[in-house]
Structure 1
């Protein structure tokens, strides 16, 4: 059992806290002899407890005397290094109303104190009998008192105190005028008992100093177990219960869990377990055996093997028998071989074939490997199909072919693979093609030609045929030659001809050579053919064209380089993202009947051994949120965030939990939180995402109030807008866009997260919307008015929310609409009131906020426009220097003015500058 299953088994069972007693007055067999002050106060007497067993008790009843201050102090109690102790008091108190003729000072309560000391040093006078230096624990009152007509009622009260730091302590009881009996006093502390759970031993651990404290208990693996993840520790809570496990152990190879599930026992002879884990030992696989205890592998029997890629629990296999029924077909100097698979494949499915070609000397029968000119198609080795074609063999030659059957263990067996042999003699074949034809001399009516013999003549060359024709003409002529040269006569002067040559043996003609163009010369220049001049003409024209093209390319490159230099620095800083191909459309996982189908389609299932939980960092809607590490094959270890689904979940909760992973798994953008994968086949179910070091944007801004430049804040806003543009392009509506749902990494990159309220945006209509279910919770301060009133959510409503996020960022995480109620916010927005610009807010940014808050949703900007405008602002830094003089405090009414006590008027020049920057950077209707 691995760590996560162990986590389930520790969290789910109910654990009874263990108590250890430090002092119990009921166990005293002689007088207690506790210290009293004054002597006329508390009195030790013999009594009986609620089970009528004799005990020593203390009582006091000086109610007829005023100004009572009676103290009783126990003996010194060593604390045994515990930090918090509990006191159980059993007592009875008489009802003051049942005592006649008493003054009004009668009490029905008493006070409990303690005093710490490094030794038993208290005396009758030290420490002084007053509240200081004693520490008061509580004023104790009974649940029920008694009168003369009713027998004494025993009350039981438990009080605790801490943290304790010295060697021990005394308990003290102060009576201020009650008639009562202190029947028994028991001092104890709580602890988590020694436990062995899932092959890890955790020692007995006392609780912490506070009731909410968690004390870490280090663990150790039981014998024959090993750690799955480190460190091993459990948390002991204030109630003496184990919780929040970290790390785990599991049985080592060769050992399985015992019946008690707390120890690991060795596999019996004839069985094995090859990897660590909670699984049981298995019988040895076929063709293997072992006679020892605690075996982690069963060796193969003689003649059987495991391949290097086979797991230790796989059966041992052997080499295959030879292929059956090898058939051959000869076509001149080509051979086609095909065969049937072996009778015995050795128990494996990875069967392949090798074909070995050997050329034999007919007179002596000696065979040697074929040379590299022999071509086998598709290849010589590693054939998966049972057929091969061999070409480029020599004519009238005997060949021997070995067809080998090979599987994954053939290399383990001594000797050569088993094979079938077939002997074949090739037939006569036509010669191969002439490689090329050369022009030796050209006159006005003749062409002198030469060529090399074919590479494979396949017999004696009887003669060569030369075919020629005028270029562009269909009519051709042929001449023959006994040698590899020829002179073609009777040609027209200054005329291009196409020439081809082929060879002939007794088997017939071979293939023609490739066509070659040669020209006869003119009468005026018989020594120089047009063929010689043609390359010079073509070369001159080509050189001219290349020069012109080069000049054009250089001009374009220089122009683009000059234009891009000014934006190079800015472009490198932007969080760029260009999606290849067409943007895909988001698919709502909640439309799937089976949520497992959706999550497995969109999210990667991660093996449980790759995940290591290090620390609990928070609590989410569905369970704990942890920081951990993810190590997958071929990838570097990465720090990740891990969301857990708490134990005892309903099927609806599991569906919603996995639904968020199915949503995230469809996204791939640098400004959207990245899903690493899920673990659905373990307990608890986990979602693994990238780890964002700086956490939520709103709290991050509040911690760093005033530390960023305006350009940095705009860069954050640009990243959020880029992520929302990507989601909008996928027809996806977020519905809960707020700074609290934006995460920030160590490089200040902002990423959209938390897709719990998001839904699919249907693009089948001209005005796609999502209608939520009635009664659903809506974040009023961030939600567009049409979404609040009619439950209509669109990308335009996300733009409204983005405007609120802008206000949050510029105000460093201030709460939108401050302490106004949700109803007041809805009323103000409906009456066209909007948030004012935060302190030192650039006018262009507040104008963009107001554009996002236009009541008519179709008039709000699109996210693509927002990204473009923010890019312009970052390029034009001067536009960010014109700031408003209005401070957050009162709402701004569209078309009106700000309240006078919260606004300083802008002079006309400032208004003109602001209006100019708005017109340059924000071409959006307000």
Structure 2
């Protein structure tokens, strides 16, 4: 009994230690945590297992012990109460904490002492109460201690046994003692579980640990996966193995174990494990939970752009398109700069459209013209155009494309009209014999390429008599300089061989390479006698034809003069020596009913075929629109639409439509084309062709110094050709000015404004009012101002002013002089000075147009011929007229050194129309007129003046200042 008491005391101490331990298992039975009678059965009831109750720190503990080592044949049983098995727990663990007394510690008094006991289990579906039969139990194991207790040192053993598989609703455990000194300190029955968890946004339920077990889970709210999430639960209650990741929906991002919607201003476009992103550039702020961010107005995404990419604008037009001739075989290089607006896209490409143009229209280039590397999908900003004809003008249009080009407005493009401009002349490829006689040879030759119409070439022909007997006389060469590609060589020897070769001389005098030598024979004298009769017959026939033509011409001229005499003679002696054209202009005001003139000369357009798009100007009678007209023959074409403002009077309507009656009578490439009118509608409209570059004066002002002189001369030639046509039609324009000349995309100039040359009172150009109406003083001839005598000669005077405007890049004629000052200066023989860099030949033509005697002025036919000659000989434009900046920039003095000096740099810049450089001069520290006089050419460039025309204007002004003020040492303040 003393041994038993010692054993129990030790147990209580150890049990108190284990109370503080915690476990994560699911416990079915815990002997230590029972707060009352355990209710375990013992068999036999007495002298077997004994229960001991002990209070430790206020808690009641129960232990069982047995120590009948002195008796033989011991069979002591201890059975637990009914233990319910939970679903899924097919195996349970039984943890035993016990002590066993060393049999030797009893001094060998008992021969039947044992140091082990047995462990049993009995499964059942119901609680059997006190019905205890040993045969129902199945032995699980014999429990043997690892250490036995000796003397006063108590050693506690722990043994855990796994029991299973279990299938009934519950079970009992039993312990059999067969003669040992045993103390059961604790019995704990439990099973392990893998706790519920969320891993990779997948939720897994609590799972009983029965070996290695695969468990299915489910994605958390607002998440998904392609397959069912799975994981393994081990026997130790741990989750192991790979997990199928769940991903948050579009518009949601992972935050811990949840998927939360994106904050405002953020978005997530797809199912993914990624976080929400900030809305990219050029997009509107998004709402919460956004899957994308919408583009701002004017910005787009292409179908291939991911939602994460920023929105971009369509590219603007390419810039600085330049055409350069590469070689003599029809190759032209086009190069340009990238658009100002590219959208920062990597898919920017370019395409090139080629059209060949004549004076009237443009059509697509022939199939032989090809591009290297191609006309579309170009990555670089240049392309080579091959197999062009040198005698044609081509218009090339370059467009920039990107993935969002289709979403913007009409694609902006850059166009240039160019022709092959060869430095070297063409080559002579073949010399032909056209005719021969005993003493002459008629030859012609073909060139490697056809020269442009405006460029003429001269030819150097060398020939010699063929050497005889292998000898060569080098002094027998004869050289002829020719203006055409044919020649008739006389004074040759009959029946003799001659050798010929030709080289081409360019208009600049550059010689080309010689052709190969060709051999031709003069005919023998006998052949000449045979051919003489036929030659005489041909000559006679030609003579008769010439006589007949002369007679017919004389009769026609006489008949026309008789008709003119019957009408009262020629209207003006300016036309007295010229043949009148058959077709003449008819003044619509001659009709009693103006509507008759409309019906006769103008086409009526269905108003449904017209659509207005944008206001581009304001005319005397109303607004002017850019629009489109649908035509069955031409499809949809761009047009300009003049409208009649509301509240008009009938007279205003007739005056408005009279311009259409005038335009409808004209058809010329350099006269604005009338498409038709709309009169059978509430608001009358005049529809003309659309001129993309607008008025000539504004076009030139925006390109000061950028257009070469040769091209300016070509533009003047077009205007002169249009005025020649009007003159031949007996029409006097009366208001020819650069503002009334329009420019299209091919830089063709066309005369416009036939509305009786009216100028509004509040027009900035100003008018001088007479009893007969209003006159644009600066453009009008003196006889028209004084006597209202408007003729084609007065239009020539106006054309001279237009020439000055063109060469001065839209400068205002007579600058800031008043109308009265202009009239006074003209009557005193003052004439506008030559603009900067104006060719002397062009300025001399201006002066001829401004002759006071109108009968001595050239007619438009002469003007067109003169300009043609200048264009055919570009070297004639290289001589520049004298330029006096003191006169050209500010009259009568540039600087006012006569006592009205410039007080500041801004005042000086304003006087030469260069006020846009005020800040540039200030930043450069040029603050006084002394600083201005010290400027050199490179200083002007460093200040920020880049345009050539602006640089020349400023440089010439400084030169004039120095000339006028050279005698002054100090400027007045």
TM-score, normalisation: structure 2? 0.40
Q: Could you say which structure has the larger radius of gyration?
A: 2
Kindly indicate whether structure 1 or structure 2 has the higher relative contact order, using CA contacts under 8 Å at least 6 residues apart.
1
